[in-house]
Amino acid sequence: MNSSPEKTSPKGSNFLRPVMLLLLWIIIPGVVAEAQYFGRNKPSYRKFEFDVVQTPNFELYHYMKNDSLLKSISCWSENWYSMHQTIFRDTFLTRNPLIFYTTHADFQQTNTISSLIGTGTGGVTESLKNRVIMPVASSLAQTDHTLGHELVHAFQYNLFLNPDTMRKLSINNVPLWMIEGMAEYLSIGSVDPNTSIWMRDAILSNDFPTLKQLSTDSRYFPYRWGQSFWAMAGKTWGDTIIMPLLKKTAELGVNEAVKKVLGYEESTISALWRLASEEHYKKYLEGKSDSPVGRMVVSKANAGETNISPSISSDGKYLAFFSEKDLFTLDLFLADARTGKIIKKLSSVVRDNEIDDFNFIESAGTWSPDD
């Protein structure tokens, strides 16, 4: 919807609406945290004694004992700030809060936001105080990336929730793939093996979406596709196109924005993006076919939509894996390794109260040696 100045409410009134927007960095698609916690309370096991460190543009809240890590995070924050600043051409008027938890389990207990946080959430940026809340990840590189990603959101909120611009711009006009894709593109860049896997697979499967499909069809994971789109736009028109396109989209929506800023209809831009991707990946696909070795044992036909972290028993007879087969949670199932037929559910977050979540992303199950 067009939010032209004459149609919006008086300056500043929207800014005070008691609605908190959240932008998350989600590590994997499909298993989104909130749904898994249906009917459960947020656990809180300990009280955190936070210290504050100030850098030129940030206030870093932490309770970490590791000075060198703290120093690294302070440096990364300022580096990201200056990198993002060149794109957004914007400054934070006050020091932006960064709240760091030492582990993901601690992060899940945060009381800075009320919503529940699942294993797949790598970080959160909330709109009211523009706070970035995140854990130290399992590697320094991942922590740095999540920080860079969330700080893009901090700049986005700084733009969209600024009383001077929000009369004209609305974040509601910007599709998620544009928001998250930008955060990925500006924190990873255009060369990314992970995104390349998705793109090659889409080309091979003849399932490359248009911009319209990206905005309306949830099958297309906004992070990877959005990053690919911005990488193409950056390569074609230069990164100086990012802000005009983002702002025009916030004003008029994607279709009108691409027409006005890039000079083509949405369908033409979609076709150009697809052709550029096909051209780029063609050389990697030559002589290859989509015929994986082996056979599918577990699929949505006999398990859930998401079936992950398989672990085979030492005698090769059984297979344990996580699946969201029973809708609300990710449970641990035991199956026949030959047929994939599920024998029983071994464990469930809902049934076993001492378990908050299965960390299927950074760890995998294993079998007892005597099994």
CA distance 181 to 225: 7
Q: How far is the CB of 247 from Zn ion (least distance, A)?
A: 19
| DSSP H or E run through 59 | strand 58-62
333 phi and psi angles, rounded to 5 deg? -115, 155
- Exposed, middle or buried, 4 (CB in 10 Å: 0-12/13-18/19+)? exposed
CB hemisphere CA count around 205 (13 angstroms): 10
Q: Would you say 136 or 154 has its CB closer to Zn ion?
A: 154
Q: How far is the CB of 27 from Zn ion (least distance, A)?
A: 11
Q: Would you say 187 or 323 has its CB closer to Zn ion?
A: 187
Q: How far is the CB of 152 from Zn ion (least distance, A)?
A: 7
CA distance 251 to 257: 8
Q: How far is the CB of 62 from Zn ion (least distance, A)?
A: 21
| Helix/strand number for the chain, H first, E second | 11, 10
CA distance 299 to 314: 22
Q: Would you say 23 or 258 has its CB closer to Zn ion?
A: 23
Q: Would you say 126 or 180 has its CB closer to Zn ion?
A: 180
14 DSSP assignment: G
Helix, strand, coil: what percent of the chain each, to 5?
40, 15, 45
Q: Would you say 64 or 176 has its CB closer to Zn ion?
A: 176
Provide the binding-site residues for Zn ion, judged by CB under 5 A. 23, 25, 180, 183
Q: How far is the CB of 245 from Zn ion (least distance, A)?
A: 18
Q: Would you say 76 or 318 has its CB closer to Zn ion?
A: 76
CA distance 122 to 29: 12
Q: How far is the CB of 311 from Zn ion (least distance, A)?
A: 31
